[in-house]
Amino acid sequence: MVNRHQVVGIAKQVKGTLKQAAGKATGSRRLQVEGVSERIAGKVRKAYGDVKDKVRRVL
């Protein structure tokens, strides 16, 4: 079962990827860095959701 943290994490990863691509297309280094950091934050959030889901299944 997918929980809220997993969904938010995936959404942040997608948003970060889009920001990074927009930064590359426009030459904006700041936008690229924001995209990378948002993608990483999304991966962390999704990993938290994965762990939370696994713990819930065990208990």
d(CA 38, CA 57): 29
Cβ-based burial of 37 (10 A; exposed 0-12, middle 13-18, buried ≥19): middle
Q: Please report, for the chain, the start and end positions of each structural domain, with discontinuous segments joined by +.
A: 4-58
- Looking at residue 1, its pLDDT comes to 81
Quickly tell me which residue has 């590359």 as its tokens: 24
- Structure pTM? 0.88
pLDDT by residue for the chain (59 residues), tens only, comes to: 889 999 999 999 999 999 999 999 999 999 999 999 999 999 999 999 999 999 999 98
- Looking at residue 15, its pLDDT comes to 98
- Looking at residue 39, its pLDDT comes to 98
